[in-house]
Chain A
Amino acid sequence: MSERRVSEKPGKPAAVRVGRSYRSGTSGALYLFTTIFLGIGAINAQNNLLFFAFGLAIAGLVVSGVISGAGLMGLRIERLDPPPGEVGSPGVIRYRVSNANRLVPLLCVWVEERAFKRAGDAKSCAKPSPAYIELLAPGASTIVESFVVPTRRGVVELGEFRGRSGFPFGLVSKIVRFRQPSEWTVRPARLELTRAASERIVPRGPRGADVSSGRGDGQEFYGLREYTEGDSIREIAWKPSARAGSLLVMQRTSPKAAKVKVRFDPAGADAEAFELGLAMTASVLRACQESGVQTSLSGDDSKRGIEGQLDALAKAMQEPGARPSGPPRIVIEPGTGAGGRGVELRLAEASRWLAGGPPEPGALERDPR
């Protein structure tokens, strides 16, 4: 089997073409049957028009092979680093597809992964929606997207993918296989928190999550000072100036996000509760991020902010034999700039914190259909 390197970038595994294959379906079988029938009919009837039709049928096979073969010889595909996915939501995998042919266009090409497997595990995604390229002119390239719904959290190993096309006549599917090892992080499912949960976990200042901590360009009043040249006339506090007898200008607060520390304490939860806890933790982190609250995750020291925290949740493994120290729960502790006490979301009360209730049993870690 010949291997052919189709692209190479420093520090990134290149896509390697590993082979070609052909697959015939019902239409191909029907065409073959028709061709044989035409040949027999021509010989049996000695009908010269049928001889010509038989020639056309054979020509169809040849032309199909030439067009699709020449087209796929110039097909170059490179998988781009896939953005993280989430269990239960369509994830996107992008490919850069190029047509290196000088004359032959590529039509109706499908790009699809051969398998979505979690490391050392079974398949972890539902049937993917392959990427589709309707037309790629000679010399052109484009970026296309394939969609897939992950059914399991974790790091999915992506290996081989393939480009296939039945063009021009749909008789035979011609397939070109590529290998480009890479990983795809699948984060826990996105669960919608109830309003009550959101209000509890997001620390609130006078205007929501913003907490004044010093002078700045915020909206809240901070203090007064003497007018200096260059100050905006709009900032002059006219009444205090009148009282003071000199021009005074208003100073405003500087907005600074609150911080919370999130900790998931599985406390001997079973596998299903563990997944639910991870999904709820991820949802809490996302809710905080959407409210402008900075988060840190207990156990994550990647310094990558919420992206790193969600990736850590994607890779989290349940420690075997851990002793329960209480009911499984998520603890949100206030950090710098956040007032109030810590919040605890118990998994046993998941129906209280999740809009629509907890997911169906097995929904967060299921076999793909």
Chain B
Amino acid sequence: MNPDRVPFLALVLTLLSMMLYGVADDAPGTALAGWVVAIGAWVVTQQRSGRGMPRALAGTLILLLLIATVFRAMTAEVDVTLFCQFLIGVQLVKLLDREKARDIAQLLVLAVFLAIGATLLSPGLWVGVLALIFVPVMVLAVLQFQVYRSREAAADYANEAGVRPPPPVRAGRFGRQLFRVHSFSLATGVVIAAVVFIVMPRGAGQDAFGRWVTPAAQRTTGFNDSVSLGGGGLINESREVVLELTVRDPRGEPIGGRETIYYLRGAVLENYRDGEWSTRRPRSRTRVPAAELGEDMTWRFSGEDTRNLSYNFEITLRSTPTNRDFYLFTGWQPLRITYSRALNQVYNSAVRTVVLRGDGRPLTYSVLWQPASLFVRPGQEDAESNEENRERRAASRPSPRSEVIAEVARRVLDESGIDPDPDERGADEDARAAMAIESYLRENFGYTLVLERPTVGADPTEWFLTERGVGHCEYFASAMALMCREVGIHARVVTGYVATEFSESSRSYTVRESNAHAWVEALIAPGVWRRFDPTPPGELMAVHSVSDTVWRRIGRWIDALESAWVRSVVSYDSSAQARLLGARDEDNRRAGRGDEEPGIDVFRVGLGVLASIVIVAGIAYVLWRLLSRTAPKPAPSGFVPEPIPEELSFYPEMLKLLRERGLAKPEPTPPLRHASVIAGSEPEVSGVVDEVSRVFYRARYGGASLTQGEIDGAWRGVEKLRSISSNGSASSGSSSGPLPALNGAVSENGVR
């Protein structure tokens, strides 16, 4: 830690903030260009010894940037992106105009504001990771900047007074103290920030000051509520994660596995015309504004059968489209949906779909559902009259009808021994008929992701059934739905996702855009809609299976990390807050009935916060004490001796030999006095110490440059001391003239 490196830290922070923006706004080009220019500006100004561009030029450039930004703001929408781009421009100018501490301070402030802007743009994992790197560097830079600025001020004061500025503290000694302050600041800061993060009320005041982020900045799912057959190209294989799914059995235990697939139902398409499936205008639509959802945030469909087992889907959507409607993904059949926060909703009770108005943020919700095959209202099937049955079948007939498809359907049923005429066929045989069609398609048609255009003028589904023979899931679904309708079975196409990617560690599924799928729901009995998937199951699994390469595994780990981030940080809202802060289940249930507000266990919260503070303070204290123990004791008067240069290393060597001989020099005693003290008992040693110390003094405090002869002489003295120590006494020859060369050298320079 060296405060002189603060300008470099400012560059690092600038680059980090640009990277943050690039990731948050999905603008890697802007970030990369910023990096190149920033590093170039740094190199140029470094080569000019820190001299920046003329102030007037820098001011003019910033003014031009401001004018351009204001112009863009007047012609387009004012948003955070514009603000961030302006900041990047100013950063680049300031990097070229970097002379004094004030300029470095401006760079630090700009980097912090750009990081805030990036955080506003996206709360994603990588933004969070970069922010976690950015914060410690920022704290370190700010701490060191205080010293850097103070040094500059001290130098200015000294220049004004005409005196020498105070010498800077040695970097190593400084670093230890600064490291302790930095660690303490960071640990305390994180604890306080975590507490604020947890207890700050959520949900109130959203968009009170308008929307700061453009809708385009938000990621949306690749899901569509219509199917358009007949286009060319390739199926989207994007691995962008759409949602996380946890499936719970009736006991509440998470279930699933790599071999178990779950269908997430989105849109229901009932209208077919010229190869396009679309939703039917809902007849039984219920609008529920967010404010009217109820305290328990739950919507209940009618028809729940308490005798049947019900399962639960817990779903976290990574993001919702901003200010646009989107389909909620559910199981079949959905009974009850509970949200983490309220949004405006539209329920279609006829097809049991839900459309929400997105707000650009993640959404967590749970869906209670019952498997359709069990969902038969008791007695209804028997009670249905033939008249009603005929009406139901009449309503299922496609319009316009396709003789080609009808012919194929009839043939399939004939081959299966089922009467294709709905009037002649028993109502209980509809399920068999649908299954026969499903099996026919699965066994006789191939799957491909390559899309081809059908023959001009031909219906895409007919073309698939009669000519092409291969297609993707939408062709299969379309073909089955239309074939069912031709033989009097009401059927519809459903689009959504299949969950196939199961993680054993999190016991949850990750669903990606490439998991988009289409299948069929057929009315096999009055009120009983059952799911059929005519896509060949082997092909389906092959397409949606998860390969086990190293990269895929790393990708899954990253996905799991991102999932945890989204669940714990991004999706943290008022309900999660209530759970974390101890809103008791009974309180929530009461709140769900509208009896009272959900309660927060103040005692539990207080205890948790207190425990966190005590733990962190304890860790910080232990760390502090450890660092204190390892840090050298400071000089008593603040005087820090300069390190002894290499050429004078004979002196510490001499002190070391004295210590080894039991003649250690006390710290405050000057060496010449020490020599005189030991002269009585160790005259030879005293003579050597005297001679070597005088040479050392001449160079160290006299400012003299020693000749090689003097240095060699001093080392000979040290060697003599070593030989005295090893032999017990010096030879008689050397005792009369202990250091001839040394004496000569010293006398020559007139010291003695």
The answer, among A59, A136, A140, A142, for a CB contact under 8 Å with B193, is A59
- Cross-chain contact A52 with B212 (CB below 8 angstroms): no
A353: B residues at CB distance < 8 A: none
Name the interface residues of B601-658: CB closer than 8 Å to any CB of A. 624, 628, 631, 634-639
Instruction: Given A59-B188, A59-B192, A147-B161, answer yes or no on A132-B207 (Cβ-Cβ < 8 Å).
Output: no
B: contact size bracket: 35 or more
* Cβ contact within 8 Å between B212 and A41: yes
Least CB separation from B187: chain A residue: A63
Residues of A near B311 (CB, < 8 A) are none
Residue of chain B at shortest CB distance from A27? B105
Q: Find out whether the CB atom of B635 lies under 8 angstroms from the CB atom of A51.
A: no
Residues of B within 8 A of A50 (CB): 116, 119-120, 123
* Count class of interface residues, chain A: 35 or more
Which A residues are in CB contact (< 8 Å) with B573? 46
Question: Judging by beta carbons under 8 Å apart, are A34 and B205 in contact?
Answer: no
A15-B569 Cα distance, complex, nearest whole Å: 53
Q: Given the complex of chains A and B, what is the CA–CA distance between A44 and B359 in angstroms?
A: 12
B162-205 near A? 1/0 per residue, CB < 8 Å: 11001011000110011011001100111111111100101111
A-contacting residues, B192-238, CB 8 Å: 192-197, 200, 202-210, 212-213
Cross-chain contact B150 with A129 (CB below 8 angstroms): no
- Residue on A with the closest CB to B570? A48
Q: Is the CB of A30 within 8 A of B188?
A: no
Contact A48 B197 (CB under 8 A): yes
The answer on a CB contact under 8 Å between B161 and A51 is no
Q: Is A69 an interface residue (CB 8 A)?
A: no
Closest Cβ of chain B to A281, distance in Å, is: 25
Query: Of B141-149, B435-443, B545-553, which stretch is located at the interface?
Result: B141-149
Taking a contact as CB atoms under 8 Å apart, the answer to whether A142 and B146 are in contact is no
Contact B202 A46 (CB under 8 A): yes
Nearest chain A CB to B353's CB is how many angstroms away? 27
Contact A141 B163 (CB under 8 A): no
Q: Which residues of A contact B212 (CB under 8 A)?
A: 41, 44-45
Of B151-159, B269-277, B662-670, the one contacting chain A is B151-159
- B361 within 8 Å of A by Cβ? yes
Q: Closest residue to A52 on the B side, CB-wise?
A: B197
- State the main secondary structure of chain B at its contact with A: helix
| A64 CB to nearest chain B CB (Å) | 9
Contact code string A90-107 (vs B, CB < 8 Å = 1, else 0):
100000010000010101
Give the nearest-CB partner of A89 in chain B.
B162
Q: Does B109 sit at the interface, judged by CB under 8 A?
A: yes
Q: Which residues of A contact B157 (CB under 8 A)?
A: 129-130, 132, 147
Q: Which of A163-171, A260-268, A293-301, A333-341 contacts B (4 or more CB under 8 A)?
A: A163-171
Evaluate contact between A105 and B161: CB separation under 8 angstroms.
Answer: no
**Given contacts A46-B206, A50-B120, A129-B161, A141 and B637 within 8 Å (CB-CB):** yes
Query: Which residues does chain B contribute within 8 Å of A137, judged by CB atoms?
Result: 173, 177, 631, 634
A34 with B112, Cβ < 8 A, contacts A46-B203, A103-B628, A168-B142 known: yes
The answer to whether residues A135 and B161 also contact, given A44-B208, A63-B185 and a CB cut-off of 8 A, is: no
A61 CB to closest chain B CB (Å) equals 9
Question: In the complex the two chains form, is B169's CB within 8 Å of A134's CB?
Answer: yes
Verify B638–A107 contact, CB threshold 8 A: no
Rounded to whole angstroms, the CA-CA distance of A143 and B200 in the bound complex is 48
Tell me how far the C-beta of B2 lies from the nearest C-beta in chain A, rounded to whole angstroms.
13
Q: A140 with B636: in contact, given A41-B116, A103-B624, A129-B158 (CB under 8 Å)?
A: yes
Which chain A residue lies CB-closest to B128? A49
Instruction: Tell me the minimal C-beta distance from A110 to chain B in angstroms.
Output: 8
Closest CB in chain B relative to A120 CB, distance in Å: 27
| Given A105-B181, A134-B150, residue A49 in contact with residue B143 (CB < 8 A) | no
* Docked complex Cα distance between A62 and B145 (Å): 19
In the complex, what residues of A have CB within 8 A of residue B150's CB? Answer: 108, 110, 132, 134
Establish whether residues B127 and A107, one from each chain, have CB atoms under 8 Å apart when the complex forms: no
Q: A140-B635, A141-B638 are in contact. Are A30 and B166 (CB under 8 A)?
A: no
> What's the minimum C-beta distance from A69 to chain B, rounded to whole angstroms?
13
**A63: min CB distance to chain B, Å:** 5
Known contacts A38-B116, A59-B192; is-contact A141 B208 (Cβ 8 Å): no
- Is B572 in the interface zone, CB < 8 Å from A? yes
What B residues does A63 contact at CB under 8 A? Answer: 184-185, 188-189, 192
Taking CB atoms, residues of chain B closer than 8 Å to A84 are none
B470 contacts the other chain (CB 8 A): no
B160 interface contact, C-beta 8 A: yes
Q: Is A66 an interface residue (CB 8 A)?
A: yes
Residues of B near A128 (CB, < 8 A) are 161
Question: CB distance B635 to A30 under 8 Å?
Answer: no
CA distance A109 to B381 in the complex (A): 89
Residue in B closest to A104 when the chains form the complex, CB atoms:
B181
Q: Which chain A residue lies CB-closest to B24?
A: A49
Most buried by B among A48, A107, A130, A135: A48
Q: Would B119 and A47 count as touching, CB distance under 8 A?
A: yes
Cβ of B540 within 8 Å of any chain A Cβ, yes or no, is: no
In contact, B570 and A139 (Cβ under 8 angstroms): no
Q: Verify A42–B154 contact, CB threshold 8 A.
A: no
A149 at the interface (CB under 8 A from B): yes
Please determine whether A67 and B185 come into contact, CB atoms closer than 8 angstroms: yes
Q: Would you call B342 an interface residue if the criterion is a C-beta within 8 Å of the partner chain's C-beta atoms?
A: no
Shortest Cβ gap from B49 to chain A (Å): 24
Q: Report the nearest A residue to B177, measured CB to CB.
A: A105
Assembled-state Cα–Cα distance A144/B573 (Å): 55
Give which listed residue, B154, B204, B637, contacts A143 with CB less than 8 A: B637
Query: Given A63-B185, A142-B637, A134–B569 Cβ distance below 8 Å?
Result: no
B143: nearest residue on chain A (CB-CB)? Answer: A168
**A40 and B212 alpha carbons, distance in the complex (Å):** 12
A39 CB to closest chain B CB, in angstroms? 9
CB distance from B124 to the nearest CB of A (A): 9
B135 contacts the other chain (Cβ, under 8 Å)?
Answer: yes
Q: Decide if A18 is an interface residue (CB 8 Å cutoff).
A: no
Name the interface residues of A105-134: CB closer than 8 Å to any CB of B.
Answer: 105, 107-108, 110, 127-130, 132-134
Could you say which of A110, A135, A139 has the most chain B C-beta atoms within 10 Å of its C-beta? A135
Q: What residue in chain B is nearest A43 (Cβ atoms)? A: B205
Residues in A with CB closer than 8 Å to B268 are none
Knowing A49-B569, A129-B158, A169-B146, the reply to whether A44 touches B205 (Cβ < 8 A) is yes
Residues of A close to B163: CB separation below 8 A: 90, 129, 147
- Distance of A336 Cα from B634 Cα, bound (Å): 55
* Alpha-carbon distance between A141 and B193 when the two chains are bound, in angstroms: 36
Option from A48, A140, A170 in Cβ contact (under 8 Å) with B569: A48
Bound CA–CA A55/B154 (angstroms): 34
Residues of A within 8 A of B153 (CB): 132
Q: How far is the CB of A136 from chain B (nearest CB, A)?
A: 7
A44 to B210, CA, bound (A): 8
A169 to B142, CA, bound (A): 6
Tell me, in angstroms, the Cα distance from A48 to B203 when the chains sit together: 11
Q: How far is the CA of A77 from the CA of B299 in the complex (A)?
A: 70
Quick one: which of B181, B204, B210, B624 contacts A43, CB cutoff 8 A? Answer: B204
B128 touches A54 (CB 8 A): no
- In the assembled complex, A148 has its CB within 8 A of some CB on chain B: yes
Q: Which of B131, B194, B207, B634 contacts A49 (CB 8 A)?
A: B131
Interface residues of B in 571-596 (CB under 8 A from A): 572-573
Interface flag for A32 (CB, 8 Å): no
Known A134-B166, A134-B168: A107·B146 in contact at CB below 8 Å: yes
* Closest A-B pairs by Cβ, 8 of them: A142-B638, A55-B196, A55-B193, A137-B634, A59-B192, A129-B157, A59-B189, A147-B161
Q: A43-B204, A50-B119, A53-B131 are in contact. List 5 more A-B contacts (CB 8 A).
A: A56-B192, A90-B161, A132-B153, A148-B161, A169-B143
Interface pairs (9), CB distance under 8 Å: A43-B208, A49-B131, A59-B196, A63-B184, A107-B181, A133-B638, A134-B166, A135-B177, A137-B634
- Using a CB–CB cutoff of 8 Å, the interface residues on chain B facing chain A are 105, 109, 112-113, 116, 119-120, 123, 127-128, 131, 135, 142-143, 145-147, 149-151, 153-154, 157-158, 160-163, 166, 168-169, 173-174, 177-178, 180-181, 184-185, 188-197, 200, 202-210, 212-213, 361, 569-570, 572-573, 624, 628, 631, 634-639
